Structure 1
Amino acid sequence: MAENSFQQLAEIAQQINETRSTNAKISSCSQYFRSLDGQDLNLAAQFLGEGAFPSISGKRATVGSRTYSTCAADFCEIDYEKVFKPCKTALGSASEAIEKLMNNIEAARKKREPAQLSLREIESIYEDIHNVSSRADKQQILRNAWKQMTPIEIKFFIRIMTRGSLRIGFETKSVVAALAKAFRKELDEVRYAHMITGSIGKTAVLCKQDNLDKARFKLFHPLSFMLASPIESRALDNLDGYISEEKFDGMRAQAHVSEQQVELYSRDLNNITHSFPEIVQFFLKKDLPDVVLDGEICVYKNHEILPFQLLQKRMGRKKPDKDIMDKYPVLFITYDLIYHDERPIFEKKLEERRNLLTKLSRTHDLPITNQFEVEDRDHLDELFERALAHGNEGLMLKKINSTYEYGQRRKSWLKVKKPGGTLDTVMMYAHAGSGKRGGYYSDFTLGIRVAEDERYEEEYIPIGKAYAGYTDEEMKRLNDRIKELTVEKYGPTLGLIPEIVIELEFDDIQENKRTKANYSLRLPRFKAIRWDLSPEDADTLKDVERMYQQKIDRERLKQEKNPSFYIEQTDPETSTG
């Protein structure tokens, strides 16, 4: 195996995937990083932690699932509908299916002559993909690249290309920990350098060169967001030191503003500026100093915050037309300030950041959240019910003396939400777990009934995947039952006779035209394993459609009285122009 080859990276990724202990995963990766220098180290950290391109580059190797899947079916000389799609469904992963097909189909093996491509050659291939636009051109580049790769390289090449999770139980925070261990640095120093440079690859090189102190922040690269920990009920042991804000039914976003430039970033650090031109224009008119604002983009019309499902109609559009903008007007509501006076202000207490934000709001007419001191548990209940009446998701509780804990999910911010609903679903597939759950089937594809639905020929179709909400004892009992119900096995995935009924709790229902149901669930998790129910008791697609429409149609308390946000001098409904 050539030193610093992509094959080596793929094998390290596979080794990490097959390792249960988080510390052992970090140790394996740290040893790998120590063996690298310069651009190879930069690229290895980038591929494992960010994807084909650095997050701050704004570049994407935009290849859709159907594009690379049909290309793989053609490469393997198999029927896409009859062979590839069933394999993908059973394995729960297109890249996993492609790896197994490339390994087992003779026609695919004959076409490949692995060339031990270097990390820089892989970088060049991603650049070639980025520079073409047609499906045919992208597929030609993929075919030429795959001819030089092993199946495991192809699998991780696809996962890195699509900038999704590598699905090895090793996310960016683990890459940061591996860099700290590899080069004997303090974890917080590495985290901070990664935060302000916006590049895990640059951070890796700074670690190797002992230059972490030279990391500098520049506007217009997204910063990792501070995250909130969910709490199961509104019961808290101690409410002292918390303030309350309503949790909006919108899209978390970051606004970077400097003179005549404004850029917006989503929580997954993607640039979404093009989808919301009126927000850009709003900020441009305000003559703000250089700032980074943390807030929420909401559809706001007739003094009402409208449901997230309507915001989805604005997302992903390169340039929304006037009709869409008129029908679904948006507003950026700020709740935190994280860059001010030419530097990040993470270390300032929430109370200090809030005072600075309030001054900005008063001098520049910015919509900002209303905050309430929580008097007692009854007051908390009152605030929670008002948030729901506004159509919002619940409450955020924030410690007044907390710093901005970028990229962390701790107890300084708490989110108190009411579940969006529950559905009785049927377990269709069981997927093998990793890490601490290795040896068990712990990830599950759940379905709803369509047996009486004239639109479908099947009895059940998938509605969501869940891997949380059950105990270890329940997982063991499930695995015993799964063995009895298995009818198909494709690598780490089992196809099951639909007998096990799961009451599934979720935050919301969203339209998703890429799924068979045309809907997907937001944050689905087990509420209960309903051993007492039969599959005929499962909810139907028409139940899902009804619940979705009820959310859209529900009446909402207008923001004119007891609003969840305010602006000092301008009506927030008209402030976007």
Structure 2
Amino acid sequence: MNKTQNHSDAMNAENFNFYTLCKVIQTIRQTRSTNGKIQAFAEYLRRLPSDRDLHLAAQFTAEGAFEEVSGKRASVGSRTSALAAAKFCEIDYDLVFKPCRTATGSSSETIERLMNNIPEAIEKRVPGNLTLEQVDEIFDQLYAVSSRADKEKILWETWSRMTPVEIKYFIRMLSQGSLRIGFETRSVVAAIAKAFKKKREDVRYAHMITGSIGKTAVLAKHNQLDEARFKLFHPLSFMLASPIESRSVDHIEQYVAEEKFDGMRAQVHVKENTVQIFSRDLNDITRSFPEIVSFFIERKMPATVFDGEICVYKDDTILPFQLLQKRMGIKKPGKKILEKYPVLFIAYDLLFTDGKPIFDLKLPGRRKLLEKLSKKHRLPTSVQFEISGNDDIEYLFNRALRHGNEGLMLKHKESKYEYGQRRKSWLKVKKPGGSFDTVVMYAHAGSGKRGGTYSDFTLGISVKEDERYEEEFIPIGKAYGGYTDEELKKINQRVKELTVERYGPTLGLIPKLVVEIEFDDIQVNRRTKAGYTLRLPRLKAIRWDLGPEDVDTLKTVEKMYQEKLQQERLTQDKNPSFEF
């Protein structure tokens, strides 16, 4: 009897190990219907025998190797995994692995296929029915080591005890992001609710205040969701805004307006001498902004959680977001950086105070408490404006632009803090930061409702007369929507005609299909060939009338970026958008 047969026999009995979880994940990936995916995972969760297995299964599927609130990261990049896999399979990384990855379009898919087909890799593996807890211990081992050699040793030892499908999802869990199976955290929440017959909103609320999808699953199983407790210094899901043009608004007077600051959304948790700052993607960014930490420590505040914006602020003026970028990612900024790009946190909402969360308090109630704290501790706080019609919105919008801000936020007076939701309670009024005519360089296969079509596109700008480059076009961003179904059909027909290369789910195209895109802003990004990326690019129009010779150039991008930096801004000592 061979090794594979032994493993297959072990699976005949219901065995809730890591292999079983990976097979369920694979089934979910192959299921088109969202409800079908939720049903499959709910049935699996319901059958899990122990609370620990339930916790880990939910965590691995929704969050990856570590809980978001743990602050842990494995730091095993795709290159580390790829090099380790090439050595494990005894193949040349450049000559064999990289072409295979190009063909599949995915490093983890490539590794799975190699493990299935390379004799040397098959011979080295004896599947060991690893439990979820054993895999959790392996993730901790990877977290504890720093050298590539140590990480590679652990990976080899682990893979020798896994099947190919386990190896694929083990690698994806290490990335701490989506498993790329069309099943995100909200679907895991729905599956937990279905598995244990709970209201989805109750499960979502417990997950939000505990910060742990695994703990939430266990609470749901034992009918203890009402025992979920908020824990200070773990990030909460942010309330989101919808574009005003995507929502019909009948009674605009029921909203108040605030300027939408040209900064970075952040959440500040503070209790006396302890301060933590979290970004919109729930990462701890405290060390990057020591002056904000000092600001709050000086005020000796009680336990409080603020929602607001970090802005570069100098000479009574909010400076461009591009300057804030020079602070982002620097874990310990030096004196020169701190002096050149000083930052300020402007609070515009309150989530926790007086020992309790206040999400269910309506906006005026939260605002009253925020203003009370602001007055007592002298905190920068957004200014709110009453509005009665479109004329008010137009006036305040233009005023916000003169401040250099992005536009307006309209907030419904009766709204609660709808964490993680994007509804009509908050609306954003913005205008595009600009637009470019670009050429489609690559087409990527869509997923979900867009499955079977090419709906995601890498867009390029012209550098054919730029002495810094040998290519004719280089990427400037990606666009994922903005077209009708009929337009998408025409695009896909043209994509077929222009395809010259295939990289798994990605097609390389002859650069002839021109589209106009609009975007919110231009950002410096030295990791890209262009040196810039576009913030929130989206398709504005398919320019069937234009050819590749009409595409905008990198020099146009650079010129627009400089113009934005040099734009004159209204100072806060005249018509302020926030107050101390």
TM-score category, normalised to shorter length? over 0.9
Change in Cα spacing, 1:92 to 1:232, as seen in structure 2 (3 Å) is farther
Task: Pick closer, same or farther for the CA change 1:189–1:422 going to 2, 3 Å.
Answer: same
Secondary structure (helix, strand or coil) at the match of 2:419 reads: coil
1:295 to 282, 293, 308: 308
* Cα pair 1:99 1:155 within 8 Å, conserved: yes
Contact kept, 8 Å, 1:304 with 1:559, in 2: the verdict is yes
Compared CA separation, residues 192 and 298, structure 1 to 2 (3 A): same
1:493 aligned onto 2:525: no
1:158-208 CA distance string (max 9 Å, x none): 222111222222211111111000100011111111111110000001111
Q: CA deviation at 1:565?
A: 0.5
- Inter-partner Cα distance in structure 2 for 1:462 and 1:47: 34
CA drift of 1:375 comes to 2.9
Query: Which one-letter code corresponds to 1:201 in the other structure?
Result: G
| Native 8 Å contact 2:102 2:503 kept in 1 | no
Aligned counterpart, 1:11: 23
User: 2:201 aligned to 184, 188, 192, which one?
Assistant: 188
Q: Is the 8 A contact 1:90 1:493 kept in 2?
A: no
AA of the residue aligned to 1:230: P
Deviates more, 1:400-409 or 1:449-458: 449-458
- Summarize deviations over 1:397-429 as a string: whole Å, max 9, x none: 000111111111111001111112222222222
- Whether 1:115 aligns to 2:128 is yes
Note the C-alpha offset of 1:88.
Answer: 5.1
- 484-493 or 468-477, which deviates more: 484-493
Alignment of 1:379 onto 2:358? no
**2:50 is the counterpart of 1:32:** no
Using the TM superposition, give the Cα deviation of residue 225 of structure 1 relative to its aligned residue in structure 2, in angstroms.
0.9
Query: 1:319 aligned to 325, 328, 332, which one?
Result: 332
Other structure's SS at 2:487 match: helix
Asked if 1:248 is matched to 2:242, the reply is: no
Query: Which 10-residue stretch deviates more, 178-187 or 93-102?
Result: 93-102
Partner of 2:454: 441
SS in 2 for 1:396: strand
Structure 1 equivalent of residue 5 of structure 2: none
Separation in 2, partners of 1:342, 1:242: 29
Farther off after superposition, 365-374 or 376-385: 376-385
Alignment of 1:552-563 (within 5 A): 552-563=565-576
Q: Aligned pair in 2 of structure 1 residues 489, 272: CA closer, same or farther (>3 Å)?
A: same
Tell me the equivalent position of 2:68.
55
Q: Which amino acid aligns with 2:401?
A: L
1:327 CA displacement: 1.1
Q: Which amino acid aligns with 1:285?
A: E
Aligned to 2:380: 367
Match of 2:286 in 1: 273
Q: For residue 3 of structure 2, what is the aligned residue in structure 1?
A: none
Task: Compare 472-481 and 143-152 and name the one that shifted more.
Answer: 143-152
**Residue equivalent to 1:225:** 238
**Helix, strand or coil: the match of 1:207?**
helix
In the aligned structure 2, how far is the partner of 1:466 from the partner of 1:71?
Answer: 33
1:98 positional shift? 4.0
1:237-296 Cα deviation digits (max 9, x unpaired): 431210001111111111111122111111111111111111111001112121111111
Alignment check: 8 A CA contact 1:265 1:272 kept: yes
* Residue identity opposite 2:295 in structure 1: F
* 1:573 matched residue in structure 2: none
Aligned-partner Cα distance in 1 for 2:424–2:248: 14
CA contact (8 A) 1:251 1:298 kept: yes
Summarize the Cα distance change of 1:99–1:382 in structure 2 as closer, same or farther, 3 Å threshold: farther
Which residue identity lines up with residue 318 of structure 1 in the other structure? K
Give the 3 Å change call, closer, same or farther, for CA 459–152 of structure 1 in structure 2.
farther
Which sits farther off after the overlay, 69-78 or 289-298?
69-78
Q: Does 1:338 find its partner at 2:340?
A: no
State the identity as a percent. Answer: 67
Aligned: 1:64 with 2:77: yes
Distance in 2 (CA, whole Å) between partners of 1:201 and 1:178 is 12
Q: Over residues 296-355 of structure 1, what are the superposed CA-to-partner deviations in whole Å (9 max), with x where a residue is unaligned?
A: 111111111112222122122221111111111111100001101111001111001001
Pair 1:161-2:166 in alignment: no
**Which of the pair has the greater relative contact order for Cα pairs under 8 Å at 6+ separation?**
1
1:300 and 1:52, CA in 2 relative to 1: closer, same or farther beyond 3 A? same
Amino acid across the alignment from 1:252: R
Q: 1:112 to 1:459 in 2, by over 3 A?
A: farther
TM, length-normalised to structure 2: 0.92
Structure 1, residues 36-76: CA drift from partner, whole Å, max 9, x if none?
Answer: 13111101111111221112211111233443344444445
1:456 and 1:73 map into 2 onto residues whose CA distance is 32
Tell which deviates more after alignment, 149-158 or 185-194.
149-158
The alpha-carbon distance between structure 1 residues 67 and 390, as it changes in their structure 2 partners (threshold 3 A), is: farther
Letter in 1 for 2:220: C
Counterpart CA distance in 2 for 1:103 and 1:462 is 35
SS in structure 1 of the partner of residue 476 of structure 2: strand
Q: Does 1:544 align with 2:557?
A: yes
Tell me, in whole angstroms, the C-alpha distance in 1 between the residues paired with 2:343 and 2:139.
35
SS in 1 for 2:468: coil
For 1:202 and 1:431, locate their aligned partners in 2 and report how far apart those are by CA, in whole Å: 36
Aligned residues: 567
Residue identity opposite 1:21 in structure 2: S
More displaced stretch, 134-143 vs 29-38: 134-143
Instruction: Give the aligned partner of residue 571 of structure 1.
Output: none
SS in 2 for 1:232: helix
Q: CA separation in 1, counterparts of 2:263 and 2:103?
A: 34
Letter in 2 for 1:30: A
Deviates more, 1:413-422 or 1:55-64: 55-64
Matched, 1:512 2:512: no
Distance (whole Å) between structure 1 residues aligned to residue 53 and residue 486 of structure 2 = 45
What letter corresponds to residue 254 of structure 1 in structure 2? Q
Q: Comparing 486-495 with 345-354, which one deviates more in the overlay?
A: 486-495
Query: Which letter maps to 1:210?
Result: N
Which of 119-128 and 341-350 deviates more?
A: 119-128
How many angstroms does 1:535 deviate by?
Answer: 1.9
> Do structure 1's residue 476 and structure 2's residue 482 form an aligned pair?
no
- 2:513 aligned partner, one-letter code: I
Q: Take 1:240 and 1:324, find their aligned partners in 2: how far apart are those partners?
A: 43
Equivalent position of 2:4 in the other structure: none
1:128 corresponds to 2:129: no
Q: 2:274: which partner in 1?
A: 261
Whether the 8 Å CA contact 2:105–2:503 is kept in 1: the answer is no
Q: Select which of 458, 480, 484 maps to 2:471.
A: 458
Between 203-212 and 478-487, the greater mean CA deviation after superposition: 478-487
Is the contact made by 1:431 and 1:493 (CA closer than 8 Å) also made in structure 2? Answer: yes
- Taking structure 1 as the reference length, what is the TM-score of the superposition? 0.93
Task: List per-residue Cα deviations over 1:9-43 (Å, max 9, x = no partner).
Answer: 22322322332222112111111211213111101
> Residue 66 and residue 324 in structure 1: after superposition, are their counterparts in 2 closer, same or farther (change >3 A)?
farther
Q: Give me the CA root mean square deviation.
A: 2.2
With 131-140 and 173-182 compared, the bigger mean Cα shift is at 131-140
**Unaligned ranges ≥5, structure 2:** 1-7
| 2:425 alignment partner, SS class | strand
In 1, Cα distance between the equivalents of 2:314 and 2:473?
Answer: 38
CA distance in 2, matches of 1:529, 1:543: 20
Task: Determine the C-alpha separation between the residues in 2 that align with 1:537 and 1:113.
Answer: 58
